[in-house]
Amino acid sequence: MLTFSRRILRALAAALLFFAASLASAEPLRIAVAANFTDTTRDLIALFEETTGHSVAASYGSTGKLYAQIENGAPFDVFQAADSARPEMLETSGGAVAGSRFTYARGKLALWTPAANVFSNPESWLASADFKRLAIANPKTAPYGLAAQQVLEGMRLWDALQPRLVRGDSISQTFQFVATSNAQAGFVALSQAKAWQNGHGTLWLVPQQMYAPIDQQAVLLNHGKDKPAARQWLKFLRSPPALNIIKDYGYDIAD
C-alpha cells in the first residue's frame, strides 16, 4: 500500500513539474524596445513568431523610461535601447548578462513634416524660425532627442528656438506631434518617416556628422537569462532576414 502511494505521489510530482515547464514555455518573451523601433519590431516579431513558434510581447517607450522600469524590477527579458549607454550600465551593474550586449541598428535623424515643399534649405528654414512649434524628443530620456539637441547646438540655434520647441516623452510622441500638425515639423527617426503611410511630406536627412552616432544596443536581462526564447531572439536580430527588415526601415547595420 505504501509503495503504491509513493508511486502516485511521484506521478503527481512529475505531472506538476511537466505542467510548470509547459506554463514557462508558454509565457511570451517580454522585450522592452525603444519607441523609434516600433514599426520595425512589429515586422520582426511577425517573422520570429512564424518561424520559431514563440510568442513575443513588446513594450515601447523612451530608452530612459524603459531603463528606469527595468531598474525598478520590470520583468523584461530583453532590452533594446536607442543608445549604448544604458545597456552598458545594466551590464556593469549586474542587471544584464555580461557579454550579451551588441549593436542591432544605427539610427538616423531626420527633420520631417507631412506637408509638401515646406523647406528647400532646412538649415535656413530653421534659422528663420518661420514656424510656431518644432518637435523634438526629450533629450534627457530619448537618444534621438539628444541628437536633435546636438544638431541645434551645432547650428547655434538651441537657445534661440527654446520658446518654439515642444518636447515629446518619446520619439513616438514627437512623431505624433508632427503627424497631427501640433508642430509644423520635428526631428524624428528616419524609420518613422519611411513608415508614414500618408505621403512623404518634406524630409531632410540630417548629416550624421552633425550628431553623435546613435548606436542602438540590445542586451539580455537577468530575467531572461534562462529563457531559450530570449537568446533565440537576440540571435535572430543578427540573422540576414532580420537585418534585411532593419535596413528596409532606414537603419544602418553595425560592421
Q: What pLDDT score was predicted for residue 252?
A: 93
Q: What pLDDT score was predicted for residue 254?
A: 77
- 3-state SS of 180-215 is CCCCCEEEEEHHHHHHCCCCCCEEEECCHHHCCCEE
Q: What pLDDT score was predicted for residue 159?
A: 96
Say if strands 185-189 and 109-113 run parallel, antiparallel, or are unpaired: antiparallel
User: Are 173 and 142 spatial neighbours (Cβ–Cβ below 8 Å)?
Assistant: no
For the entire predicted model, the pTM comes to 0.83
- C-alpha 116: how far from chain center: 28
User: Are 26 and 138 spatial neighbours (Cβ–Cβ below 8 Å)?
Assistant: no
Q: What pLDDT score was predicted for residue 196?
A: 86
Per-residue model confidence as pLDDT tens digits over 199-215? 779 999 999 999 999 99
**Alpha-carbon span 246 to 216, nearest angstrom:** 12
Residue type, 209: Q
User: Are 48 and 236 spatial neighbours (Cβ–Cβ below 8 Å)?
Assistant: yes
Angular region, 181: left φ>0, alpha ψ -120 to 50, beta rest? left
Q: pLDDT tens per residue, the chain (255 residues)?
A: 445 454 554 544 444 444 334 434 568 999 999 999 999 999 999 999 999 999 999 999 999 999 999 999 999 999 999 999 999 999 999 999 999 999 999 999 999 999 999 999 999 999 998 899 999 999 999 999 999 999 999 999 999 999 999 999 999 999 999 999 999 999 999 999 988 877 779 999 999 999 999 999 999 999 999 999 999 999 999 999 999 999 999 999 876
E strand or H helix at 244: helix 240-248
**Alpha-carbon span 28 to 72, nearest angstrom:** 21
- C-alpha 141: how far from chain center: 12
- C-alpha 127: how far from chain center: 31
Q: What pLDDT score was predicted for residue 8?
A: 52
- C-alpha 3: how far from chain center: 57
Q: What pLDDT score was predicted for residue 129?
A: 87
Per-residue model confidence as pLDDT tens digits over 126-161? 999 889 999 999 999 999 999 999 999 999 999 999
Cell triple for residue 7? Answer: 508511486
